[in-house]
Structure 1
Amino acid sequence: MSGKIHLSDAEWRRRLTPEEYEVLRGHGTERPWTGCFVGTHDAGTYVCAACGNPLFRSGEKFESGTGWPSFTRPVSPDAVTTVEDRSHGMRRSEVRCARCDGHLGHVFPDGPPPTGLRYCMNSVSMRHVADGAPLPALVEGIDAAP
């Protein structure tokens, strides 16, 4: 992972679509069964829609029946971070992009082996890059930390 990216709220609003901004910066959630990656099984890598950081490999994706794309693990332990989320009267582990702190979704301890985890992600927070295609250049940020 490249260095952390730090942008102003105004810059995020310029770079992201309104729907991407609502989820990635506003910690929103797309409605179940509406995301473009719910039933996708194409080989490749899912990257952060905000900064291009590689997040999940398609081989870790599984059908959870929840209405959101689900994965058993990230591409590497340092690709994502988790933060306690006590919103909506629940206690959950929010998953964020480790590079830009964009909200991706939540992780739950009810996934399949071998991890037993279910990384339940918002489609709008990611882009799919097919195997064999170059990964996008990481977004460079104003005041990006080295």
Structure 2
Amino acid sequence: MSTIANSIDQAFAEIGEQFYPGSTRPLVRHRNRLNTEAAPSAADPSAWDAKPRKYVVGGVETEFFTVGQLAQALGRQPVTIRKWEREGVIPKSTFQSPGRDGDVRGRRRLYTRAQVEGIVRIAHEEGVLVSHQKPIKDTQFTPRVIALFERLAAEQ
């Protein structure tokens, strides 16, 4: 165990009997939040296409990827991708998987490999994925992604 982890353990031992201010609830130690060595590492962004969903579209078996997989490819959270779609930063997904009972609830947004790879390429070219990024509205990201989706829809 590292010296940082030892010092954290010692600090918690010293305050072990303390409580949250104004409460009888004791402080709870969350080792995974304090010890970065024990915390799970970020998912490998290159593994986004490890498990594609396959559906037959127009007689051709096609690979599809979920919002989570698109988010992983972009190094973002799925909630961010949903927000981008809701705000019009990226177009609504072209495909959706059916819900379990055929209802609209439970449907999943699906993106083709070409859509995911195109979004990732455009994001890199526009500097959207850089840590000190400029705001998306100050780039050509949205118009380029919309044009990509239109071009891919025309090719089908």
Q: Which gives a bigger RCO, structure 1 or 2 (Cα 8 Å, sep 6+)?
A: 1
Query: Common fold, TM-score beyond 0.5?
Result: no
**Bigger helix fraction:** 2
TM-score by length of 2: 0.28
With normalisation by structure 1, the TM-score equals 0.29
Name the structure with the higher strand share.
1
